């Protein structure tokens, strides 16, 4: 292709790209104008390819750009600005290639953003939710227009409200930003998730995502970022690679954060020290250590790294561990015995003590040495705190089990099943490994409330049964997503709901209602 034609076609493409960004089809000059451009420059007697090429060979040595269309000539009027429609969308440190299409009948109408699967966990949903800068105002207006009439009344004129909302661009999710503003604007008029949604706005206002692998092949696509993250979770959470060697001490070659280029995008990578064996599976003389693994997901790397640090410190605490084990009382060991032997209880105690003792995660050998010194000093203090919590969990549980045995199945069958389900979700045989400390430290309250419920049950059967019907749909959801970390907050909310339904006058830790649970569930988007 001759240079002039290549240049002119690229210029034409560029103008068409602007049309796609601005969603207009009236910016490019028509074909007649382009014809006139060539007609004015090429002599009339040139009527074949050969004569054209001969003529071009005489003209271009002196005027190499004679047939080049200048930028301005392709525009109907002054060139519009497209700063608000970037070819690369920035999200934190990520720079993501973005293309545009103006075709309402096409799945990818609007902006399409290519995201390597390795970068997907690093996309900040708060920033992402604000969409393309040039359509941000339209997006906010569309969300406001989707509100029911009675709510909309208070925020007219909508364009003015949208501008106010836009002027205070916040680091939070766009939905939360709007909620916060409207709660103030509507003076307590209740707005819920159902009142407006991202589904009701024109699709083009929300970027279309194409998730690609390192070869550029599409893995997943769609407009819902959190859904795509969930669908690619297995892919993004597994280690990318493992370095050679197993370590009993903190390795010198450890580097927590690095970067790698994947399909033109600089993606962060995170190293973690990962135990070769799960803590619950270790025996007393186990020599297994940790390996270095690399992850794309920072939260997953941190979680794994903590497990590795726990293991390395564990290897250094022989005497302190023996002292702590001796403090397990007979009643505690007996209470735990239906769930497992004493060795299993000892292992849970050691793990939970180390879990509580480690706050700052070391990313080099010096920081690890400091942490080790600190943990050695405080290990028994933390151990005693954990022991008291274990006592407050397992001894009441033993008492509840005894009480359940005295109940008549034919009268209290429904209530007993509900209580068994509640206890089942606690996973008391290995809860220190499956739940974070902040969560299971609340178990004593939940069990105390359960004892109160059992005491009231014979005189409160009707109300108890009605309360079970209320809590049942939430229990189904918790069982369906058992062990999914996204439901931890919902779990604590359901436990507080149980206190408010079954164990009054005991106080809840937070205001709780069916409405709040519904709202939280919708936000989860599961």
Within a domain: 366: no
At residue 132 the predicted structure's pLDDT band, cuts being 50, 70 and 90, is: very high
CA nearest neighbour of 332 among 403, 387, 404, 405: 387
Question: In terms of domains, do 212 and 95 share one?
Answer: yes
Q: How far is CA 496 from CA 144, 248, 449, 466, 505, in A?
A: 34, 43, 10, 17, 13
Within a domain: 165: yes
Question: In terms of domains, do 223 and 101 share one?
Answer: yes
| Extended strands (E) in 214-256 | 218-222, 241-242
Within a domain: 127: yes
Residue 188: pLDDT over 60: no
Within a domain: 471: no
Within a domain: 183: yes
CA nearest neighbour of 193 among 173, 175, 217, 169: 175
Q: Which residues contact 2 (CB under 8 A, 6 or more apart)?
A: 56
For the segment 290-335, what is each residue's pLDDT rounded down to a tens digit? 999 999 999 999 999 999 999 999 999 989 999 999 999 999 999 9
DSSP-derived 3-state class of residue 285 = coil
Within a domain: 220: yes
Question: In terms of domains, do 99 and 220 share one?
Answer: yes
At 246 the pLDDT is 95
Question: In terms of domains, do 42 and 96 share one?
Answer: no
Residue ending a domain, among 228, 248, 279, is 228
414 CA to centre of own chain: 37
At 78 the pLDDT is 61
Strand arrangement of the beta sheet that strand 257-262 belongs to:
241-242, 290-295, 265-275, 257-262
Question: In terms of domains, do 13 and 143 share one?
Answer: no
E strand or H helix at 174: helix 174-185
Mean of pLDDT values over 226-238: 91
Question: In terms of domains, do 292 and 254 share one?
Answer: yes
Residue 394: pLDDT over 90: yes
Within a domain: 431: no
At 192 the pLDDT is 67
Four-point Cα dihedral 171, 176, 180, 186, nearest 10: 140
CA nearest neighbour of 466 among 502, 422, 412, 515: 502
For the segment 409-422, what is each residue's pLDDT rounded down to a tens digit? 999 999 999 999 99
pTM: 0.77
Q: How many residues does the chain have?
A: 526
Question: In terms of domains, do 219 and 297 share one?
Answer: no
Burial letters 194-232, b for 16+ CB under 10 A, else e: eebebeebebbbbbbbbbbeeeeeebbbebebeebbebb
Overall number of domains in the chain: 3
User: Cβ(437)–Cβ(355) under 8 Å?
Assistant: yes
Question: In terms of domains, do 153 and 196 share one?
Answer: yes
Question: In terms of domains, do 62 and 96 share one?
Answer: no
Question: In terms of domains, do 165 and 248 share one?
Answer: no
For the segment 463-513, what is each residue's pLDDT rounded down to a tens digit? 999 999 999 999 999 999 998 888 999 999 999 999 999 998 899 999 999
CA nearest neighbour of 445 among 491, 487, 356, 508: 508
Question: In terms of domains, do 172 and 40 share one?
Answer: no
**Residue 126 vs residue 186, higher pLDDT:** 126
Residue ending a domain, among 315, 339, 363, is 315
Say how far apart CA 474 and CA 467 lie, in whole Å: 12
Residue ending a domain, among 287, 315, 343, is 315
Residue 34: pLDDT over 80: no
DSSP code, position 28: B
Full residue range of the structural domain in which residue 224 is found:
88-228
DSSP-derived 3-state class of residue 206 = coil
Residue 76: pLDDT over 70: no
For the segment 427-437, what is each residue's pLDDT rounded down to a tens digit? 999 999 999 99
Within a domain: 512: no
Q: How far is CA 410 from CA 7, 407, 417, in A?
A: 86, 9, 12
Question: In terms of domains, do 38 and 104 share one?
Answer: no
């Amino acid at each position: 292709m001759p240079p002039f034609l290549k240049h002119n076609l690229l210029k034409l493409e560029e103008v068409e790209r602007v049309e796609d960004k601005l969603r207009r089809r009236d910016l490019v000059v028509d074909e007649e104008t382009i014809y006139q451009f060539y007609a004015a420059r090429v002599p009339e007697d040139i009527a074949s390819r050969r004569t054209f090429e001969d003529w071009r060979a005489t003209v271009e040595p002196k005027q190499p750009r004679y047939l080049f269309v200048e930028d301005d000539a392709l525009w109907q009027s002054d060139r519009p600005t497209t700063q608000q429609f970037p070819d690369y969308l920035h999200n934190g440190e990520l720079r993501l290639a973005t293309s545009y299409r103006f075709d309402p009948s096409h799945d990818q109408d609007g902006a399409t953003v290519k995201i390597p699967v390795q970068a997907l966990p690093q996309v900040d949903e708060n920033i992402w939710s604000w969409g393309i800068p040039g359509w941000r105002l339209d997006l906010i207006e569309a969300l406001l227009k989707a509100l029911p009439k009675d709510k909309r009344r208070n925020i007219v004129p909508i364009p003015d409200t949208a501008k106010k909302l836009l002027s205070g661009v916040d680091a939070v999710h766009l939905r939360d930003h709007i909620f916060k503003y409207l709660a103030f604007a509507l003076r307590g008029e209740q707005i819920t998730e159902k009142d407006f949604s991202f589904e009701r706005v024109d699709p083009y206002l929300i970027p279309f995502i194409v998730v690609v692998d390192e070869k550029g092949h599409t893995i997943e696509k769609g407009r819902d970022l959190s859904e795509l993250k969930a669908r690619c979770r297995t892919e993004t959470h597994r280690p990318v690679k493992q370095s050679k060697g197993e370590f009993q001490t903190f390795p010198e070659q450890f580097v927590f954060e690095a970067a790698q280029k994947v399909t033109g995008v600089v993606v962060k990578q995170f190293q973690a020290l990962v135990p070769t064996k799960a803590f619950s599976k270790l025996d007393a003389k186990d020599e297994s250590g940790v390996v270095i693994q690399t992850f794309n997901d920072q939260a997953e790397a941190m979680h794994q790294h903590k497990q590795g640090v726990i293991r390395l410190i564990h290897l250094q605490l022989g005497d302190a561990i023996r002292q702590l084990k001796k403090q397990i009382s007979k009643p505690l060991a007996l209470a735990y015995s239906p769930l497992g032997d004493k060795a299993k209880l000892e292992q849970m105690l050691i793990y939970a003590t180390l879990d509580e003792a480690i706050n700052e995660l070391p990313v080099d050998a010096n920081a690890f040495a400091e942490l080790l010194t600190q943990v050695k000093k405080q290990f028994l203090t933390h151990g005693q705190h954990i022991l008291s919590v274990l006592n407050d969990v397992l001894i009441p549980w033993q008492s509840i089990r005894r009480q359940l045995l005295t109940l008549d199945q034919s009268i209290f069958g429904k209530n007993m099943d509900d209580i068994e389900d509640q206890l089942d979700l606690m996973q008391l045989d290995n809860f220190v490994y499956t739940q974070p400390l902040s969560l299971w430290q609340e178990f004593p309250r939940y069990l105390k409330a359960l004892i109160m419920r059992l005491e009231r049950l014979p005189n409160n059967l009707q109300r108890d049964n009605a309360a079970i019907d209320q809590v049942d749909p939430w229990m189904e959801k918790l069982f369906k997503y058992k062990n999914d970390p996204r439901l931890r907050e919902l779990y604590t909310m359901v436990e507080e709901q149980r206190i408010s339904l079954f164990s009054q006058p005991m106080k809840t830790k937070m205001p709780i209602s069916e409405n709040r649970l519904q709202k939280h569930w919708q936000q989860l988007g599961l």
